[in-house]
């Protein structure tokens, strides 16, 4: 057995040897080797090129570096989805310039080390999809620039700490699918008002939702508090959140009536499911009226009992009075019936002269007056109250297409009477093979867009309704929303939101005789992002994975804040059911202005279609939409209309000329100023953003559809620009 001095000398030599071996590796590299040591040998392949003999870790897999004061420092670590088993070493906190740490999708266990947040430059931490446990570290908010925190799908426990209020720059807080519990303390949300994404779903939170959560004015997407144990009333302050925010409050213990203010009006019933004590719109469960509930154990007093509990009979005078009232009521009803009979008989002579028309042809005068042919008269409205199923206040309830007609309100929060629609002022906005479009202002001042589809298809009622139901399940902030429809044997109408600021075509090209309105780069980027989000939702999230098939500027509507709305999806199928010719282009399913069709030069259908779509008789594909979106992006970037981009007159090649012109410009390394819209040249700061969108548009307009990205990927890439 060696003596103690020999052992010490041996250890000294070993230390010196190791010191010599690692002397050349930078301090950041030594810190990173702690991660390699913390992982089981099964994951060694993920670190195969992490060599301690290197002088810098900047060439290692998963490591990103930046030149800081003339020295290469580690700014990013991304070792994700490698099924690594081990723990997170606290030595990573010594990486002074670390900005992004991504270890998601592994089997890391143990707690998140508190000293990890000594990395003061950290702004993004992605640890989701591991087996991490323990509480949220107290030093979490030490990095003052922390913006993105995703710890979802772990086993993190304990309460939601109130020190989160110190993460003033936080933008994304995702803690879903953990074991967090307790009540959410007040005061956190006003302090982190920059949060754009909040997901606390699938935990064990209890108590009520803090009122101050309504102060998250930057929130977008979905506020997800589902699958917890929240109780009490839903605070009205949630209505103060932006109108584009969707709620997911499912599977909790909320009670009382759902508020009806602000952003609550945009929520569907799915947002509130599986809360047994919750009532009110949009749920079908009605709330009890005040004073009508019976308290258990207490018998409500009977109006037929006196103070002594003895029953009292009706007085003779009261009986006579009731009998007289009944007789008067029966007579009055008889007069109404006679009046309605003569009114119906005279309806054929109703003159529409001097009144607004909701369409019309030689066969049917579709006038804006109650005697309009093809609409139910007052008798049919009475029938509907007796048993008709049409909602929205009107309709005969025939339900088969063989009756007078059905006015069905899809969204029960969007109530109006049929008679109100018929009497309203109507303005013709445009006419095409996709039907005639009108702007109709209802009695409450709310404008709607009404499309008249045609007169055929009386035998295809069920098919029509099935298609409508599929369309109405599509609810997204960047997609025009269908509110109601009318079905009769000789008339079919679609009633949808009226979008107030025209369409992208008129915004880019202007009206006839007028120059286009100047659109800043910020506005154009906002429009492109909105279109991409809407199309990505149609492709990925809608029940039928819809394909639009006709993406072009005239089908992109804009509101006064230049939010984009995709319109006309699913319309061709409805047109084919009702018997119109679906091959023509133009028109809108929701909203337009008088100049949108009449005053803007019409777009040629082929100019936005993918090359494989122009001669194909196959059903449209999602990659067709991707190509069309790419052309719209190029138009936003260059300010050039595809049909005007070349002197050629062949409509089958014009769009190729715009795409080729841009591609040629990049191949020849022409200055960006030669390709972008001159209106954008003043915004020099946006050069990198413009260049990034050019690359996205060119990827979308690849000739091979298999090479084009999915709309979801396009949307995600656009969302990263300018943020």
Assess whether pLDDT exceeds 50 at residue 492.
Answer: yes
pTM more than 0.85? no
Assess whether pLDDT exceeds 60 at residue 477.
Answer: yes
Retrieve residue 523's tokens: 């506005």
The mean per-residue pLDDT over the stretch 662-682 comes to 83
* pLDDT band at residue 416 under the 50/70/90 scheme: low
Cα 688 to Cα 172: distance, rounded to the nearest angstrom: 25
Cα 612 to Cα 279: distance, rounded to the nearest angstrom: 51
pLDDT, tens digit, 9 for 90 and up, residues 440-465: 777 667 788 887 776 555 557 777 78
Residue positions annotated with a catalytic role: 550
* pLDDT band at residue 340 under the 50/70/90 scheme: low
Q: What pLDDT, on the 0 to 100 scale, is given for residue 532?
A: 94
Assess whether pLDDT exceeds 80 at residue 152.
Answer: yes
Give 496-536 as a 3 state SS string.
Answer: EECCCCCEHHHHHHCCCCCCCCCCCHHHHHHHHHHHHHHHH
How crowded is residue 31: how many other Cβ atoms within 10 Å of its Cβ? 21
Between the alpha carbon of residue 122 and those of residues 29, 94, 95, 684, the distances in Å are: 17, 11, 9, 30
Assess whether pLDDT exceeds 70 at residue 549.
Answer: yes
Residues with Cβ within 8 Å of 99's Cβ and at least 6 positions away in sequence, in order, are 75, 76, 121, 122, 123, 124
Q: Which residue has the higher pLDDT, 616 or 565?
A: 565
* Cβ–Cβ under 8 Å, residues 692 and 721: yes
pLDDT, tens digit, 9 for 90 and up, residues 264-289: 876 777 788 899 999 988 887 888 87
User: Measured at the alpha carbon of residue 152, what is the angle toward residues 87 and 526, in degrees to the nearest 5?
Assistant: 125
The mean per-residue pLDDT over the stretch 378-385 comes to 29
* Cβ–Cβ under 8 Å, residues 143 and 118: no
Q: What pLDDT, on the 0 to 100 scale, is given for residue 246?
A: 79
Cα 369 to Cα 374: distance, rounded to the nearest angstrom: 12
Cα 658 to Cα 665: distance, rounded to the nearest angstrom: 11
High-pLDDT (> 90) share of the chain, %: 28
- The lowest-confidence range among 62-66, 357-361, 567-571, 573-577 is 357-361
High-pLDDT (> 70) share of the chain, %: 67
* Cβ–Cβ under 8 Å, residues 86 and 40: yes
């Amino acid at each position: 057995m060696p003596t103690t001095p020999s052992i010490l000398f041996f250890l000294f030599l070993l230390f010196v040897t190791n010191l010599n071996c690692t002397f050349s590796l930078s301090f950041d590299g030594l810190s990173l080797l702690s991660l390699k040591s913390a992982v089981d040998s099964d994951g060694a392949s993920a670190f195969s090129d992490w060599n301690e003999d290197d002088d810098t870790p900047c060439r290692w897999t998963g490591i990103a570096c930046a030149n800081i004061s003339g020295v290469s420092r580690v700014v990013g670590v991304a070792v994700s989805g490698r099924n690594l088993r081990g723990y997170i070493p606290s030595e990573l906190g010594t990486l002074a310039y670390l900005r992004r740490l991504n270890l998601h999708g592994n089997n890391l266990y143990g707690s998140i080390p508190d000293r990890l947040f000594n990395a003061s430059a950290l702004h993004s931490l992605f640890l989701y999809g591991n087996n991490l446990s323990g509480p949220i570290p107290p030093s979490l908010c030490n990095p003052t620039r922390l913006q993105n925190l995703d710890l979802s799908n772990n086993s993190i426990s304990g309460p939601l700490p109130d020190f989160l209020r110190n993460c003033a720059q936080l933008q994304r807080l995702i803690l879903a699918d953990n074991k967090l519990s307790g009540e959410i303390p007040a005061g956190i949300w006003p302090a982190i008002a920059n949060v754009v994404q909040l997901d606390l779903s699938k935990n064990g939170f209890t108590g009520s939702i803090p009122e101050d959560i309504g102060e998250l004015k930057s929130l977008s997407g979905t506020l997800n508090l589902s699958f917890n144990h929240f109780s009490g009333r839903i605070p009205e302050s949630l209505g103060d959140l932006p109108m584009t925010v969707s709620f997911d409050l499912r599977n909790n213990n909320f009670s009382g009536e759902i508020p009806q203010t602000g952003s609550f009006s945009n929520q569907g019933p799915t947002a509130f499911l599986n809360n047994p004590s919750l009532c009110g719109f949009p749920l079908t469960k009605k709330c009890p009226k005040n004073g009508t509930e019976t308290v258990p154990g207490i018998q409500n007093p009977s109006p037929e009992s006196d103070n002594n509990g003895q029953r009292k009979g009706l007085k003779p005078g009261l009986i006579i009075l009731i009998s007289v009232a009944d007789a008067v009521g029966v007579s009055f009803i008889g007069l109404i019936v006679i009046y309605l009979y003569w009114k119906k008989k005279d309806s054929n002579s109703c003159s529409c002269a001097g009144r607004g028309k909701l369409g019309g042809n030689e066969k049917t005068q579709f006038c804006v007056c109650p005697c309009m042919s093809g609409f139910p008269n007052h008798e049919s409205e009475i029938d509907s109250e007796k048993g008709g199923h049409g909602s929205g206040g009107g309709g005969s309830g025939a339900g088969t297409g063989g009756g007078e007609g059905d006015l069905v309100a899809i969204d029960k929060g969007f109530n109006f009477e049929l008679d109100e629609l018929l009497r309203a002022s109507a303005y013709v906005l445009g006419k095409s093979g996709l039907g005639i479009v009108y702007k109709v202002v209802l009695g409450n001042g709310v404008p709607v867009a009404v499309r008249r589809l045609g007169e055929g298809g009386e035998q295809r009622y069920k098919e029509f309704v099935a298609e409508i139901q599929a369309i109405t399940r599509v609810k997204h902030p960047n997609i025009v929303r269908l509110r109601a429809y009318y079905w009769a044997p000789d008339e079919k109408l679609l009633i949808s939101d009226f979008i107030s600021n025209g369409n992208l075509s008129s915004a880019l090209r202007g009206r006839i005789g007028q120059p286009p309105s100047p659109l800043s780069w910020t506005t154009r980027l906002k429009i492109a992002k909105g279109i991409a989000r809407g199309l990505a939702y149609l492709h990925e999230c809608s029940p039928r994975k819809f394909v639009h098939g006709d993406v072009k500027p005239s089908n992109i509507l804009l509101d006064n804040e230049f939010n984009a709305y995709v319109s006309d999806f699913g319309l061709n199928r409805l047109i084919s059911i009702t018997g119109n010719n679906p091959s023509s282009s133009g028109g809108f399913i929701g909203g337009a202005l008088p100049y949108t069709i009449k005053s803007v030069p019409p777009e040629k259908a082929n100019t936005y279609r993918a090359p494989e779509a122009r001669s194909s008789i196959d059903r449209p594909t999602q990659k067709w939409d991707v190509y069309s979106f790419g052309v719209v992006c190029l138009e936003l970037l260059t300010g050039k209309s595809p049909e005007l981009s070349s002197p050629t007159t062949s409509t089958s090649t014009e769009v190729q000329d715009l795409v080729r012109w841009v591609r040629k410009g990049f191949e020849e390394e022409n200055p960006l100023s030669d390709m972008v819209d001159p209106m954008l040249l003043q915004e020099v700061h946006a050069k990198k953003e413009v260049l990034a969108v050019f690359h996205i548009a060119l990827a979308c307009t690849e000739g091979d559809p298999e090479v084009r990205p999915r709309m979801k990927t396009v949307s995600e890439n656009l969302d990263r620009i300018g943020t």
